[in-house]
A and B are shown apart, each in its own frame.
Chain A
Amino acid sequence: MPSRSDDNAIDKDPIDKDPIDKGPIDKDKGEHLPHLRADGAPPRPSWLPRQRRGITPQMIGRYPDYDVLENADTWDEMTRGVVLARLDPPGPLRFFEPSEEATLRAFCDVTTGQDEDPRVPVAESVDAKLADGKLDGFQYADMPDDRDTWHLVLAGLDESAHERFRTGFGQCRLDEQEQLVRDFAAGRLSGGSWNELNVSRAWSVCMRAILSGFYSHPWAWNEIGFGGPAYPRGYMRTGALNTTEPSESRGATQEDPVGTVRRESEEFPG
């Protein structure tokens, strides 16, 4: 374990060497979008502004001065209760075994791109869903119950990690974990626990729970500039481009703020 931590320190993030990142990214041209980049991969998160108001996962986002929680007093009571409960400090895992925890946390981190705190507690969200039996209402005929699927997937990730990297999934380097997850997403893992699953379907079962956990959290709404609940207040500015509600704030841009302020004061004197 200690020796592997050293490896981590040496090669913490292979994307740091991304040759594509040269100069500032033009958001208007979509230069940050994987499809539009030569290597098909996202740029380093460092192109993003740091969050100045409220919290986002890893304190990065496109709306540095927006905190959806500042609107919580305009939400109806039931909605406020459900959303704010997600900010409570997460308790211990109830569904997963302690032996599964490292793999679970690493898997949730890699699939949601969370590499440092503050983290949205995705593992706890998945754990709660499974512990409470709040399943989705369908089970593939060639698959076990979703709860069994999760146990098998975590075991499978560990088995594959041992096979390839001679250590558990949770102890692998980030690029190793990403390689395994890439193969999982493509349905390319097999042997051992994987043989009891339809691997592609297992990926969709797991990701359904993970995405729901991550994007139900208000920190993730801050990151993406989502307006959030709007009852009873409602949204009134739905028409023209770039029209924002009083409670919304525009995304960050690369423009020179001094020039903009000067121009606006000339265009709108007084």
Chain B
Amino acid sequence: MSIKDRLRNAAKGSIGPADNDSRFLLDVHSRALPGRQTMQQYDDDDEVDLAIVGAGAGGSVLAQRLARKGWRIVVIEAGPFWDPDKDWVSDEAGSHGLYWTGKRIIGGADPIELGKNNSGHGVGGSMVHYAGYTPRFHPSDLETFTRDGVGADWPIRYEDLLPHYERVERELPVSGQNWPWGHPHSYPFSPHPVSEAANVVWRGAEQLGIGMRVGPVGIVNGTFGNRPHCIYRGYCLQGCKVNAKASPLVTHLPDALAHSVEIRSDCMAARIELDESGRARGVVYLSEPGGAERLQRAKFVAVAGYSIETPRLLLASTSARFPHGLCNDHDVVGRYVMVQGATQTAGRWPEELRMYKAPPPQVSSEDYYETDTSRGFARGFSIQTVSPLPIGWAEHVLADGHWGRAMREYMRDYNHWATVGVLNELLAHPDNRITLADEVDAYGLPVARMDYSLTENDKANEAYSTKVITDILKAGGAQDVLTIHRYAHLIGGARMGSSPGTSVVDANQRSWAVPNLFLADGSVCPTQGSANPALTIMALASRLAERMADGSAMSDDPEQRAGPFRARQPVG
């Protein structure tokens, strides 16, 4: 262990980020952001320094960082500005408003269910309802083509993200055991206690020689400024009413508001408008369905709408110069969108485990993360415990083929089950893509269509990983198992790369086609690894902010744009 690691371990739980006061700007007695009352407001015609579309993981970090550098920023967000005390409930069905439920069309051979599964709506984005796992990508994720001949290489290296991973982990803050996988590291907070539902999975893994670790989760263990300790109520996916779980709403936006950022909520971006010289003038948006179009003028525009809405906005921004959509000269916008295989298997024990108590994310393994050619497929998967609440559990039971009285019988047995899931690295494919459908939404904007088809490699990965988690449960003594095959997370759709013909943005996340337009979300990722994407999206935005602040992101030097790691991808 290096001296730096020893210091990090010794300081666990005691050191917060130096340049983000969000944890002190929250109210102890109420969850609404105090800064909202005094929030800066800009006029549409006031040319701000930066207009950001989307107040999620990417947009919020970018806003917070650059606001601290004195940038005048407006964030345009389609959903509401939450007051968690009033708007959120400890209830599955009652949390419908947290999800992007505007219509989207899903097609392809393996259509991906959206909505509550993977799509956020409102200030804080999808992290408001993510489980809380915050693993880093592995160094190998950024060079899968060089190493394994699949996917694509990133134009940047793991070392470029590393300082931002560490910084964001201090801000969330992440708690977990020392991490032996990928680039080994420790976490700023110690691991949470583990419930019996996770213990039985852990013991099964131990029997098979599979290493498990507690965490990593963006959930406060201890207290953190004015954010309290987790109370283990289990409703992480319904929005944390406690303020213990990290989302941009509590980790970055309080500080952003204190530095004069305006969050313009309930406003739907319609298109990016260009001036005669081909630069973005600002963002055209609607503050209500059927309302008049407004244009927020800005020197720079960053789109952070995530893997469906970012391509949708670019594709809808047509002009004489870009008849097929903004930045889409080479038909790359919307392509290479990815999801992760997220099969879950539950096991049954004679004792009551009551998996609804404690946060759903508890223990995980990355033993199977990288390629092992003996498994018969490229790349791998991670293993993580999860804990469905009753409706989620009913969907799990149904997926195993039980309805009516059989379903009721399995449902009544709820307290005896523990659930473990996988995240398969599904490979990027050009035909997995976002396009515009013929239908329009309430704003009159064309809705997105997402097509998805699994490759043979994807199917082999899913089948192998399902057997591993089933074996873990059986080794741990499970009497019966139930399996649901499903998909989670979104990433890609407007990837970064080293040349304009094969990517939408350069190594600085600046679009190849419009000089003052950046993408600041998960859509830029060329691959996804087997890690939950939230932490990496924040780290990328943190890196982007650093480079926008010092001007290096605006560099026209071809070497700078191509990036430190010359991206390669399969030809054709």
Q: A141, B449: Cβ atoms under 8 Å?
A: yes
Q: A136, B234: Cβ atoms under 8 Å?
A: no
Most buried by B among A30, A110, A139: A139
Q: A113, B408: Cβ atoms under 8 Å?
A: yes
Interface residues of A in 16-38 (CB under 8 A from B): 27-30, 32-36
A141-B105 in contact given A30-B480, A45-B405 (Cβ < 8 Å): yes
Contact among A76, A215, A240 for B411, CB-based, below 8 A? A215
Interface residue B367 (Cβ < 8 Å from any Cβ of A):
no
Contact among A43, A111, A227, A235 for B231, CB-based, below 8 A? A235
Interface residues of B in 438-480 (CB under 8 A from A): 449, 451, 479-480
Identify the closest chain A residue to B84 (Cβ).
Answer: A78
Q: B352, A241: Cβ atoms under 8 Å?
A: yes
Most buried by A among B99, B113, B115, B415: B415
A227-B357 in contact given A134-B96, A139-B103, A140-B106 (Cβ < 8 Å): yes
Interface residues of A in 197-240 (CB under 8 A from B): 207-208, 211-216, 220-221, 223-240
Interface residue B412 (Cβ < 8 Å from any Cβ of A):
yes
Q: A231, B232: Cβ atoms under 8 Å?
A: no
Binds A, one of B291-299, B311-319, B394-402: B394-402
Identify the closest chain B residue to A86 (Cβ).
Answer: B93
The bracket for how many chain B residues form the interface is 35 or more
Q: A145-174 toward B: CB 8 Å interface, digit per residue (1/0)?
A: 100000000000000000000000000000
Contact among B92, B107, B405 for A141, CB-based, below 8 A? B107
Identify the closest chain B residue to A230 (Cβ).
Answer: B233
Residues on the A chain within 8 Å of B353, using CB: 241
Residues on the B chain within 8 Å of A82, using CB: 89, 91, 94
Identify the closest chain B residue to A235 (Cβ).
Answer: B357
Residues on the A chain within 8 Å of B111, using CB: 138, 140-141
Q: A141, B408: Cβ atoms under 8 Å?
A: no
Interface residue A79 (Cβ < 8 Å from any Cβ of B):
yes
Q: How far is the CA of A207 from the CA of B102 in the complex (A)?
A: 20
Q: A235, B403: Cβ atoms under 8 Å?
A: no
Chain B's nearest CB lies how many Å from the CB of A60?
Answer: 8
Q: A232-254 toward B: CB 8 Å interface, digit per residue (1/0)?
A: 11111111111111001011000
Residues on the A chain within 8 Å of B413, using CB: 30, 32-33, 62, 224
Residues on the A chain within 8 Å of B393, using CB: 215
Q: Which residues of A contact B (CB under 8 A)?
A: 15, 27-30, 32-36, 41-43, 45, 48, 61-62, 75-76, 78-79, 82-83, 110-113, 134-142, 145, 178, 181, 185, 207-208, 211-216, 220-221, 223-245, 248, 250-251
- Identify 20 new A-B residue pairs, CB closer than 8 A, beyond the known A134-B101, A234-B231: A33-B348, A34-B410, A35-B481, A78-B87, A82-B89, A82-B91, A113-B407, A136-B101, A137-B115, A138-B113, A181-B404, A185-B403, A216-B91, A216-B93, A216-B94, A224-B411, A229-B91, A230-B235, A235-B231, A238-B357
20 contacts between A and B (CB under 8 A): A33-B413, A34-B406, A41-B406, A45-B408, A48-B412, A82-B94, A110-B404, A134-B96, A136-B101, A137-B100, A208-B395, A212-B93, A214-B394, A215-B391, A223-B411, A224-B414, A226-B390, A229-B90, A235-B231, A235-B234
